[in-house]
Structure 1
Amino acid sequence: MLDGYPNFHHVTFSPGRKRALLERGINGMAKVSALGGARRPAIFIRSSPWKAGTEQTPWHDVFDMDNGHVRYFGDHKAGLSMAPGTTTGNATLLDAFDGHQGRTPEARAAATPLLLFRSVSRNGQPKGHVEFCGLGVIERTERLVQWGGSDHTTFVNYVYDIALLDLAVEGDEVAWEWIEARRDETVTDAEAVQLAPTAWREWVKHGISALPRLRRRVARAKVSKVRDQRPKPGSSEHADLELIYKHFDGRKHDFEALASAVAARVLRGSGHSYVEGWLTRRSGDGGADFVGRIDLGSGLAGTNLVVLGQAKCVKLDTLVTAEQIARVVARLRRGWIGVYVTTGAYSEPAQTEMVEDQYPIVLINGSELVRELRAMARDDHGGDLTACIEHILAGQETVITNRRPEEILLE
């Protein structure tokens, strides 16, 4: 550790071998004569955002970490007389691209992994520190014309579209033992692959067609498995959720009152000032079951958001689909957010779509519903869940109306 941060040279140290370097933008390790032929152990890519737009680095690399995509520019510069593809960095990446287009698992097993880093500011300094951004495969390359240099002349360069692979299984880390194995001339390509991250092994096996499912996506980290959204069968939580479902089965409007109370508790529990509004009437509700308001800040430094709620009392094994969530989102206006409360669970595709499309909606599943209600019963009713439910219903009887949602902003 140096100044509290991991030391790159220590992490990548291999006894008896040259150090891995990050001195340039494109740092290719020397090839080794392995049993199956020449093999480059790895290429280290470094992007320096603080240089972007300068005469030295006129391009702007794009690191879209959420969607697993990097657009990285090669090392040709204005004023160079040599052909664009023959500069050290471009030649290295073009060679790697050929390997990444391998048509067989054997060819892809020899392909060079790209380890991507970018410079970050720490302690007020833009230089000297880098963060690991992931493991990449080059999907495509493109020749383009850029402006650069002190005379702002045009020059030809290469740009590389790189897919970042999902390293969730490995905790967003790459084992250095894999790179060490690739540096060992006595280790075959197939043997080295066994030490690679799961997504790399899957890419080697299935090729470029597998990249859509192997690509790093932050959305996946925010998606809950269906089994994690339901209480464990046989547990007291499961029994309570069954009680809730049976209590409200066929009593849609009563469940909306319960959902409104739970939504209020969840939003207030996040530190927000939440005002409960009203339940909508059974007909002509415009797709909303309850209305509320979140107040952020105060005075000129504050704003208010309309909360549009949807409540669905369904069988515990029911899945809410992406289409159902999208219908709620379609009714939201600028400055509104949605809350969806159900006794069931949300399908994984529905959650993924919500995260990737950045839907302004809060999802409360059956497990969270029963957890919040049990907490309410414990706090105010001595743990009696039925008494808690009856209290909520009694308090909501008088606030059923057909007012327009935006009227909550006037209160």
Structure 2
Amino acid sequence: MRYAQGASRVDVELDGYLNYHFVTAPPETATFPKLMLEAGINTAAVATGPDGPRRPVVSLRSSPWKAGHATNPWHDEFDLDHGHVRYYGDHKATTVGLPGATTGNRALLETWALHAATDPIERFKAPPLLIYRSTTINRDGRNLVKGHVEFCGAAIIERLEHVVQRDPETRRSFPNLVLDLAVIDLAATGDALDMRWIDDRRDPALSAEQANRHAPASWWRWIRDGRAAIPRARRRVVSSRVRSTEEQRPTPGSPEADLLQRLYDYFDGRKHAFELLASKITAQVLSRSGARYHDGWLTRPGGDGGVDFVGRLDVGTVGNNVPLVILGQAKCITPTSSISPDQVARVVARLRRGWIGVFVTTGVFSRQAQVEVIDDQYPLVLVDGRTLAEQVLLMAAADHNGDLDAFLNSVTGDYDNAITYRRPDEILYG
């Protein structure tokens, strides 16, 4: 949609795109102010209904083109096919106070209290989070990064954490909030959101329950059953899980593309050492699920039988968990090359019941290799070149102030001590 601050609510289109202010306009009889997207976290004015005050809606806007800048030193993550968005609050290195000091973060904390409520009456009052993502469009040969947004859905806060981040320019650390959002299923309405829901939530004449009469069925399910309903209310698009070659490679000319080529050049003559990098990337990727990853070891060169490294993932609480063996395969190939189904099958053949495989490469996975993993429901995580480059940048920034050479030296420095002659299942015993 075209988002312009002073645009009229009457015009259906602006510059050939749907007019955001027309789409979000209330009925003609209402005098509600515009729902703005000027900030990353945008709150509608509180409405006081017959049963008390309620926040009608919170609109979140993510600006990928700003990621890493001083105004936005974090990277929101979108996985809409699986109904998940990881969104960072608006605390910055220059903000004084705790993460709730900003207007946006304070609104998120208030919303979290209602989204985590155990009483359905409180959940009736909970404002939906409407998620938008700034998108770049090309007009007359120019790339425009401002003024256009993509609607990504309505969401429930599934988890809120306090984190410490680092400003990429000043290198100063600062506290912030990070939210895991469950994007709700709108399949019953063709992935469309009925804006009468938001209009009703802004109407002070309606009770909190009445104000949800046009809410999606998935939202009602969550109001009724609470957190237990989130897996069933979450949006899932299984058919689009196959990623194209372009999606698995960094954008040409980007820092990630340069880094990926540099990684290939660095490890081309010592590909077994690449396996240690792959094991560290695996720890980074799997740990983001909330489970605890434990480093294991590298297998001996030339006799791995389809397994390059071993790790362990503990799922559950500290006192009540299930340890899972992680078998890893690493392939340092030219970034333009692809991994075949046969190469993937070799890893899968080594998996036992309850084990998980991870395949890390500097290249991409062929379409057929992905299809076989999805169709046969193999417990195999595929980490392509683009993901590898993105994770290396994050790890280098977090632990080495962005110094890639220092990061790579720390990886290869651990190589000799990482090789062990042990069976994979031995990692279950310490």
Q: TM-score, normalised by structure 1?
A: 0.55
User: Helix, strand or coil for the counterpart of 2:219?
Assistant: helix
User: Helix, strand or coil for the counterpart of 2:108?
Assistant: helix
The question of whether the paired residues in 2 share the 8 Å contact of 1:219 and 1:352 is answered with no
How far apart, CA to CA, are the structure 2 residues paired with 1:177 and 1:122? 29
Q: Which residue in the other structure is 2:16 paired with?
A: 4
The question of whether the paired residues in 1 share the 8 Å contact of 2:89 and 2:104 is answered with yes
The CA deviation string for residues 202-259 of structure 1, in whole angstroms up to 9 with x for no partner, is 111111111111111111789xxxxxxxxxxxxxxxxxxxxxxxxxxxxxxxxxxxxx
Against the structure 1 CA distance between its residues 302 and 30, is the aligned structure 2 distance closer, same or farther, given a 3 Å change threshold?
A: closer
How far apart, CA to CA, are the structure 1 residues paired with 2:202 and 2:109? 20
How far apart, CA to CA, are the structure 2 residues paired with 1:117 and 1:40? 18
Alignment of 1:145-164 (within 5 A): 145-148=164-167, 150-164=169-183
Q: Out of 143, 159, 173, which is 2:162 matched to? A: 143
Against the structure 1 CA distance between its residues 336 and 167, is the aligned structure 2 distance closer, same or farther, given a 3 Å change threshold?
A: closer
Q: Which residue in the other structure is 1:88 paired with?
A: 103
Residue 189 (1) aligns with residue 201 (2): no
Q: Which residue in the other structure is 1:58 paired with?
A: 73
After TM superposition, give the deviation of residue 3 of structure 1 in Å. Answer: 2.0
Alignment of 1:378-389 (within 5 A): none
Q: Which residue in the other structure is 1:33 paired with?
A: 48
Residue 24 (1) aligns with residue 39 (2): yes
Q: Which residue in the other structure is 1:180 paired with?
A: 199
Q: Out of 112, 117, 141, which is 2:132 matched to? A: 117
How far apart, CA to CA, are the structure 2 residues paired with 1:356 and 1:178? 40
After TM superposition, give the deviation of residue 353 of structure 1 in Å. Answer: 4.1
How far apart, CA to CA, are the structure 2 residues paired with 1:149 and 1:304? 34
After TM superposition, give the deviation of residue 165 of structure 1 in Å. Answer: 0.6
The question of whether the paired residues in 1 share the 8 Å contact of 2:82 and 2:234 is answered with yes
How far apart, CA to CA, are the structure 1 residues paired with 2:116 and 2:102? 21
**Matched AA of 1:61:** D
**Matched AA of 1:139:** E
After TM superposition, give the deviation of residue 357 of structure 1 in Å. Answer: 7.3
How far apart, CA to CA, are the structure 1 residues paired with 2:88 and 2:338? 42
| Structure 1 ranges of 4+ moved more than 3 A | 301-307, 334-338, 350-358
After TM superposition, give the deviation of residue 33 of structure 1 in Å. Answer: 0.8
User: Helix, strand or coil for the counterpart of 1:66?
Assistant: helix
User: Helix, strand or coil for the counterpart of 2:230?
Assistant: helix
Q: Which residue in the other structure is 2:112 paired with?
A: 97
After TM superposition, give the deviation of residue 81 of structure 1 in Å. Answer: 1.6
Q: Out of 13, 26, 46, which is 2:25 matched to? A: 13
Q: Which residue in the other structure is 2:146 paired with?
A: 127
Q: Which residue in the other structure is 1:71 paired with?
A: 86
Residue 218 (1) aligns with residue 237 (2): yes
Extract unaligned runs of 5+ from structure 2: 1-12, 242-335, 343-364, 383-430
Aligned length: 253
Q: Which residue in the other structure is 1:276 paired with?
A: none
Extract unaligned runs of 5+ from structure 1: 223-300, 308-333, 341-349, 359-411
After TM superposition, give the deviation of residue 151 of structure 1 in Å. Answer: 2.6
The CA deviation string for residues 294-340 of structure 1, in whole angstroms up to 9 with x for no partner, is xxxxxxx9999789xxxxxxxxxxxxxxxxxxxxxxxxxx97948x9
The question of whether the paired residues in 1 share the 8 Å contact of 2:77 and 2:87 is answered with yes
Against the structure 1 CA distance between its residues 146 and 35, is the aligned structure 2 distance closer, same or farther, given a 3 Å change threshold?
A: same
After TM superposition, give the deviation of residue 156 of structure 1 in Å. Answer: 0.8
The question of whether the paired residues in 2 share the 8 Å contact of 1:44 and 1:116 is answered with yes
The question of whether the paired residues in 2 share the 8 Å contact of 1:27 and 1:44 is answered with yes
How far apart, CA to CA, are the structure 2 residues paired with 1:167 and 1:356? 29
| RMSD between aligned residues | 3.6
Q: Which residue in the other structure is 2:188 paired with?
A: 169
The question of whether the paired residues in 1 share the 8 Å contact of 2:338 and 2:366 is answered with no
How far apart, CA to CA, are the structure 2 residues paired with 1:134 and 1:155? 29
Against the structure 1 CA distance between its residues 160 and 302, is the aligned structure 2 distance closer, same or farther, given a 3 Å change threshold?
A: closer
Alignment of 1:347-366 (within 5 A): 353=377
How far apart, CA to CA, are the structure 1 residues paired with 2:338 and 2:225? 51
How far apart, CA to CA, are the structure 2 residues paired with 1:213 and 1:173? 18
Against the structure 1 CA distance between its residues 335 and 67, is the aligned structure 2 distance closer, same or farther, given a 3 Å change threshold?
A: closer
How far apart, CA to CA, are the structure 1 residues paired with 2:368 and 2:378? 13
After TM superposition, give the deviation of residue 7 of structure 1 in Å. Answer: 0.6
The question of whether the paired residues in 1 share the 8 Å contact of 2:46 and 2:54 is answered with yes
After TM superposition, give the deviation of residue 150 of structure 1 in Å. Answer: 4.2
After TM superposition, give the deviation of residue 82 of structure 1 in Å. Answer: 2.8
**Matched AA of 1:97:** W
The question of whether the paired residues in 2 share the 8 Å contact of 1:56 and 1:149 is answered with no
**Matched AA of 1:147:** R
After TM superposition, give the deviation of residue 83 of structure 1 in Å. Answer: 2.5
How far apart, CA to CA, are the structure 1 residues paired with 2:69 and 2:39? 16
How far apart, CA to CA, are the structure 2 residues paired with 1:44 and 1:126? 19
Against the structure 1 CA distance between its residues 354 and 167, is the aligned structure 2 distance closer, same or farther, given a 3 Å change threshold?
A: farther
The question of whether the paired residues in 1 share the 8 Å contact of 2:35 and 2:44 is answered with yes
Against the structure 1 CA distance between its residues 337 and 82, is the aligned structure 2 distance closer, same or farther, given a 3 Å change threshold?
A: closer
The CA deviation string for residues 175-213 of structure 1, in whole angstroms up to 9 with x for no partner, is 111111011111111112221011111111111111111
Against the structure 1 CA distance between its residues 110 and 220, is the aligned structure 2 distance closer, same or farther, given a 3 Å change threshold?
A: farther
The question of whether the paired residues in 2 share the 8 Å contact of 1:147 and 1:155 is answered with yes
